[in-house]
Amino acid sequence: MIPAVVLAWIPLVLALDRDASMTQQRLLGVGTWVLLIALLARQDVRTRLQVAVVVVFATLVEYTCAGWLGVYVYRLHDVPWFVPPGHGLVYLGALAMGRSVLFARNRRWLIPVTLAIAGTYAAWGLLLSGRRDVLGAFWFACLALFLLRGRNPLVFVGAFLVVTYLELLGTRLGTWTWQVRDPILGIVAMGNPPSGAAGGYGFFDAAALWLAPRLVERLRPRPDAAVAEPEAVARAA
């Protein structure tokens, strides 16, 4: 259900945002937060923490890259309110795909086919597109690393599907536009969107997969603390 909901919500919000005012855009953001919280209500603590890590990490990147540096520019020159929870939905959709029985049964061919499709897309952007895409090729290399060496490669297969779908829709509808070159050094050419954008998103996913289990361990009551508390109560009595 989750991938279907995410893949349906993305075009709905982007289409409604196309002519939306700032107030209407913020209402779309509220609706996206409500949807994300509703989907998380049935998830375990680890999944909720993973999504929280992605939202925090991605929000910092958004306000740095879009709000400050202008690597890409949103339609109203802001960071729309639906973007932070949207990152959570994208991750949740990719995670649900990666955990699915369908993906597990087809693992043997899903990973090489994803590599082949993503590599072809990156090669097209670098060599054949009318707008040279060096950043996309670099991010494809990152995606290949996550797929080949990551502990949860099927999550990155899901990320490639959801993120590529999101980026193609968002840039086509004009929700955001990537600069021709990076605004920092002005030497890295970028597609609109970069072909390997899923590799960039992969760092959000990797951070969530790595950090969430450690947060769970920190939040879990220690056995010695659980024993010490009744003893302390007994002594006080």
Is there a domain that residue 224 lies in?
A: no
Residue-range definition of the domain harbouring residue 185:
2-219
84-112 pLDDT tens trace: 999 999 999 999 999 999 999 999 999 99
Half-sphere exposure of 4 (CA within 13 A, CB side): 2
Instruction: Examine residue 74 and state whether it is found in any structural domain, yes or no.
Output: yes
Three-state secondary-structure class, residue 131 = coil
Domain count for the chain, please give it.
1
Q: C-alpha distances in angstroms, 220 versus 46, 113, 163, 226? A: 11, 39, 33, 11
Q: Using alpha carbons only, what angle is made at residue 59 by residues 91 and 148, rounded to the nearest 5 degrees?
A: 40
Q: What percent of the chain has pLDDT over 90?
A: 81
Residue 236 in domain: no
Asked whether residue 26 is assigned to any structural domain, the reply reads yes
Please indicate, yes or no, if residue 237 is contained in any of the structural domains. no
pLDDT in tens, 181-208: 999 889 899 999 999 999 998 888 888 8
Residue 87 tokens read as 């990152």
Residue range 25-43: average pLDDT?
Answer: 97
Cα 50 from Cα 36, distance rounded (Å): 13
3-state secondary structure 66-80: HHHHCCEEECCCCCC
117 part of a folded domain: yes
User: In this structure, is residue 31 part of a structural domain?
Assistant: yes
Segment 219-234, tens digit of pLDDT: 777 665 555 555 544 4
